[in-house]
Structure 1
């Protein structure tokens, strides 16, 4: 694995600077792990709106076209978290090229472990609401107003069948 600190960049950087470092880091990861991803052929973008998804590969006809990364993850969790997401998305792109498989299945989990990245990312933005089960304590994060947030009495917990209560996150 290329030393992550070599690529570290401050959160006050411009989008262009961040994307430039992202591409260099991605190219080095691809080279070191012999991934079938052409970093230069991909469009690299930042999302300023993403709150739940740290990154994603956009693809068409089984071929990766672009990688979108959440700027907010970088601002809230730093370079190391974003670097892990870059590796995660490179695993997706590689498996799309090799198997046409965009899932988080067994092949993904094995390669993610090899690249020392996550299968699911940690929350990087606090939700606006927590929907909690009164009986078992299970809780669901909600970032937007939804039917569940507006009318929790119409829903039941998937774990125990209990009732929900909505708590606004301050």
Structure 2
């Protein structure tokens, strides 16, 4: 089997979960160097999800009290729960096999850089989000702020004022059932809910 940078199979030749992890881990190591991520990859665990229907990848982190993006965390301090850590706690990079199957190489590497921004934020601040700091950092490493959905949502919620789509849902929930009771983050207007399948 052909090799890519001696790190595993070429992207188009990946056939197993283990190969996807090896390829993605090797790419992330190169991206840390190329884009200047402040990330300890040794503190990142890896897994492949076959159940994910929406997220191409995700960084799973422990929930830490009083963590806030923008406030660097001193990992040498003993946390309030009294459990000492050996530096930065580990987090898990969860890769979706279905997304990998739908994405080309460029979109997959953009997705990995998006997730590296999450890892960098977590290792720096103890938490992560998609706020202004995330958007600036994602832009600086040529990563999308939001990774493309690889399956179609069952419901789309839109702002009644500007018409922008503001949320997507893949099953019935309170937000879907009572959409008009919620307000959009863009204009503060009520939401409307539609089923994209009905538009076809």
Structure 2 residue 169 is matched with structure 1 residue 142:
yes
Structure 2 residue 102 is matched with structure 1 residue 69:
no
Higher strand fraction: Structure 1 or Structure 2?
A: 1
**SS at 1:141 equivalent:** strand
Task: Quote the offset at 1:23 in angstroms.
Answer: 0.6
1:129–1:141: 8 Å Cα contact kept in structure 2?
A: yes
Task: Quote the offset at 1:19 in angstroms.
Answer: 0.8
Structure 2 residue 83 is matched with structure 1 residue 81:
no
**SS at 1:81 equivalent:** helix
Higher helix fraction: Structure 1 or Structure 2?
A: 1
What TM-score comes out, normalization by structure 2 length?
0.64
Structure 2 residue 132 is matched with structure 1 residue 106:
yes
2:195 to 146, 167, 170: 167
Partners of 1:91 and 1:118 lie apart in 2 by: 10
**SS at 1:28 equivalent:** helix
1:8–1:79: 8 Å Cα contact kept in structure 2?
A: no
> Considering only aligned residues, what root-mean-square deviation do their CA atoms show, in Å?
3.2
Partners of 1:115 and 1:89 lie apart in 2 by: 11
Please list the CA deviations of residues 1-38 of structure 1 after superposition, one character each: whole Å capped at 9, or x if unmatched. Answer: xxxx9785127611111111001001111122332322
Q: CA distance change for structure 1 residues 70 and 98 in 2, over 3 Å: closer, same or farther?
A: same
**SS at 2:92 equivalent:** strand
Match of 2:81 in 1: none
Partners of 2:94 and 2:19 lie apart in 1 by: 15
What is the total number of aligned residue pairs between the two structures? 164
Partners of 1:96 and 1:153 lie apart in 2 by: 32
What TM-score comes out, normalization by structure 1 length?
0.74
Question: What runs of 5+ residues in structure 1 fail to find an aligned partner?
Answer: none
